[in-house]
Homo-oligomer: A and B are copies of this chain.
Amino acid sequence: MTRTRTNPDFLNGIPELLILEHLTRRPMYGYELVRAIEESSGQQFQFGEGCIYPLLHRLEEAGHLSSKRETVAGRSRVIYRVTAPGKRKLAETIESWQRVVDTVNHILEGHQDGLPAVS
């Protein structure tokens, strides 16, 4: 398959980025993570469980997350934490994101400030 992407990711992919970022700071379980993302984004991002859970499974299967089961007050939770490869992936992902942002903003700036693209 190999998909040979001509474009970087992150034209979507923000959920994945935020999952890795949040879990790097602090291991969490899915339900908790869903609300943490909501809160840390000031309610701007509301990725439902239908988005987050499958991503957690995919990331774990890829070796970027590890999980352990925990039972608290009769409640079973699956706690995820970021593995070493996961941290590497996060770094790459952030870099890729910044590149997209820089590129888009650079294009947009040529217009707003009349920066006449001094070539």
Contact = CB atoms under 8 A, between A and B. Distances in A.
Given A25-B111, A25-B112, A46 B6 contact: yes
Interface in A40-84: 40-42, 44-48
A99 interface: yes
B11 A14 contact: yes
State the main secondary structure of chain A at its contact with B. helix
Contact of A99 (B17, B44, B100): B44
7 contacts: A18-B107, A21-B108, A25-B111, A41-B107, A42-B117, A94-B108, A101-B105
Given A8-B44, A11-B11, A42-B114, 9 more contacts: A7-B47, A18-B104, A21-B107, A21-B111, A25-B110, A39-B114, A40-B112, A42-B117, A44-B100
